Each structure stands twice: as C-alpha cells, then as structure tokens.
Amino acid sequence: MKLKVKDLCSFMESWAPAGYAASWDRVGLHTGHPESEVHTVLVSLSVTSETVQEAKRHGAQMIIAHHPLLFRPLESLREDRPHSRLCAEIIRSNIACFSAHTNLDAAEGGVNDILAEKIGLQQTKPLLQDESQKQLKLITFVPESSVDALRGSLAEAGAGTIGRYTHCSFQHSGIGTFFAGDGTDPVLGEKNTLNREPELRLEMILPYSKKTPVLKALLKSHPYEEPAYDLIALENPDPYMGLGRQGSLEEPVALSDFAKHVRKVLQLPRLICYGENDRTVQTVAVLGGSGGKLIAAIPAGIDVYVTGDIGYHDAELATARGLACVDAGHWGTELPVVETMKNKLKAAFPALSVISFLEKAPGTFM
C-alpha cells in the first residue's frame, strides 16, 4: 500500500492529538497535499534552511518537526525575507511540513515523558493539569456473552484508563427491548415482534482525544447490527493530562550531583544550576522547552525544576521560593524527542525511510 502524507499525519495525530495543543499554538500540516505519496520522511526539532537542505539531500517528501513552520502568520512570500524565502523553497520543493508542538509536549510518551525518563524519575504525573482537557463517558448495552470481548476492544482503543489502571469499567444488568423489522438481521430475538433480551449496561470513561478510535472499536466489535450507545461529556478534566511532569529520584542526591547527571544524560556541553550545590534534592519537575515563566506555578514540594530559557528574574523568583533550578536549555530539553519520533514512525511504517536530523544548538558554547 502506498503511504500518503495524510497517513503520517493521522499517525502523529493518534500519538499527539491536536486537541492537546495550547490555544495559541499552530500544529498540524502546514505545507503539502494530504494525498501526496511519501517514501522518505525527515524528522527534526525545527524547520530551518539546514533542515530543508538535509531533506532535499535525502529526497524526503515530508518533514515532521516539533516546532511549527508557520507559528506566526506570514504577511507575504517575499524571498528577500528569510522566513518567507524558507517557506517558498519548501513549497517549490514539494515538501510537506507537519508540526506536533505543545500537543507533543503533553502527549504520553512525548517530550516531557522522554525528559523525565532520561533523568530517571519514578511515579511521574503531569506537573500542571490542563483544565481544558475534558473526559467523556461511553455507555453501551451488550449481551453478557460478549461483554468481555467488547470491553477489551474498547480498552485497546483508549477507553477505561484511570492512571496506571486499564480496562476500567462498570456494568450492571437490565432488559433491552427492540422490534426487528424487515431488512434487519438481529443477533438475538426474532423479526417482526417486540423482543425483550437480558443485557449488560457497560460504562467506560475516555479522554476526548480518543473519541474517534473508541467509537470505531465499538461499531466494529459490538455483536449487534445497530448497537445503542450514549456518549456523555463530563465536566471533570482528565487528571492525567497537562504540561510537564513531576516525579521522584530513587534516592536523594546533592543538587550539584543531580545537575551533573542531567548534563550527562542529555549530552550537554554545559547547563546552568540555580541553588546551593550541597542542597539535597529528590522531588523533581521537568518541562521541556521554555519553562522559565512558569516558575510561579510550580507546586509546593518540588525540590528542583529542570527546564530551559530561565531568565534573570525567573531565577530570582525561584530563589525566593526556595526552588532549585537546572536550565538545560530549550534545545537540550527537547532534542531527545526527535529520535523517539523516528523510532515510532519506523515501527508503524516499516517500509518508510525515516531520517533524523539532530540539529546543533543555536550559538556556540565558549
């Protein structure tokens, strides 16, 4: 089967749904046609002139990047202006560009989970809960003989997950009625009569982002020709969705040793540490990219915060709050996601050639 741009977009959307993105963000397909064929894709942190040249060198038809190509609206495509010139070259080269930005930050297995895993955090959970990410409740009615299989299919599609528990559901018995008229093929009961059949009411919660795959699983796996179901919007937000991650180290360590560990696992030439070197830390918050402006929102009980782009006044505020910080850079805290994108795409599309472009940090460390 020939792969198309829309197939890769759908895969990325299933991993990092656009609904997870911040309201100000610009994610998704920025250039190219969804129906265009893709044989080679390049994954990168940003879309720069170097990224595009690398894509062209490998004959890539698509670039999947973390940072959006079109973050701010273009006023023109004048080629005497750097960013407009870059966009024009991408269009002339027939390269599709896709971005997964803050949605990939929030997604399971995305930027912040990777950062937390590299540092060695345990029992992680979102750092700052996203109140906008609501949940849904699915209610359907099924014969007892089919309930386990249906529950399994729905769970595989993303329903019934509560924290680290899966296949969570509630069920109770009742009587369902239906009249099977001409042109029907009922699994139970008889045609042209009012049937009363024992059924189980099955309830499962799901994040809004899983609505489409869960409904597809329901319609595919339910034994009835016309399954009845309710999909109810809940006011309670998804407690497992949000910015950043927080967790704990296996053992408490000195801040200086922790900072050296972060520099080693992220393979950084340098970083900046704020706080007393001999201070003991164990509870850790991480937020890949630019997280300096969120220091005021870091919850109490966190010993050290790992992020990028910590400004002078951000550091002052952290000191006043008694919060140690490690500024590992915007680039340094996000770059690990590039190899993860490559590995996930290769696993999903074995015939696809996937090239990773690990761009250098802007500037030179002296």
175-186 confidence digits (pLDDT tens) = 999 998 888 888
% of the chain beyond a pLDDT of 90: 80
Q: Looking at residue 287, what is its pLDDT?
A: 98
Given a cut of 90, is residue 319 above it in pLDDT? Answer: yes
Give the tokens for residue 44: 């990168």
Q: Looking at residue 362, what is its pLDDT?
A: 80
φ, ψ for residue 171 (rounded to 5)?
-145, 150
Question: Which tens digit of pLDDT belongs to each residue from 219-277?
Answer: 999 999 999 999 999 988 777 788 999 999 999 999 999 999 999 999 999 999 999 99
Given a cut of 80, is residue 366 above it in pLDDT? Answer: no
Q: Looking at residue 189, what is its pLDDT?
A: 85
For residue 253, the cross-strand partners are 281
| CATH number belonging to the domain at 134-237, selected among 3.30.70.120, 3.40.50.150, 1.10.150.120, 3.20.20.10 | 3.30.70.120
Q: What is the DSSP letter of 93?
A: T
Q: 3-state DSSP: the chain helix, strand, coil percent, rounded to 5?
A: 35, 30, 35
Rounding to the nearest 10 degrees, give the CA dihedral for residues 169, 173, 175, 180.
40
**pTM of the entire predicted model:** 0.81
Q: What is the mean pLDDT of residues 2-14?
A: 95
Q: What is the mean pLDDT of residues 186-213?
A: 91
In the numeric block, the tokens 């010993």 are attached to 303
Fold of 5-104+335-357: 3.40.1390
Given a cut of 80, is residue 83 above it in pLDDT? Answer: yes
Q: What is the mean pLDDT of residues 157-180?
A: 91
Amino acid residing at 104: L
Q: Looking at residue 60, what is its pLDDT?
A: 98
Given a cut of 80, is residue 325 above it in pLDDT? Answer: yes
- In this chain, the answer to whether the domains covering 5-104+335-357 and 134-237 adopt an identical fold is no
Pairing of strands 353-357, 40-44: parallel
The domains of the chain are located at 5-104+335-357, 108-128+243-328, 134-237
Q: Looking at residue 209, what is its pLDDT?
A: 78
pLDDT grade, residue 208 (50/70/90)?
A: confident
Q: Are 192 and 181 in contact (CB under 8 A)?
A: yes
Fold of 108-128+243-328: 3.40.1390
Q: Looking at residue 239, what is its pLDDT?
A: 74
Q: Which of 53-67, 100-114, 153-167, 327-341 has the lowest mean pLDDT?
A: 153-167
Given a cut of 90, is residue 307 above it in pLDDT? Answer: yes
pLDDT grade, residue 163 (50/70/90)?
A: confident
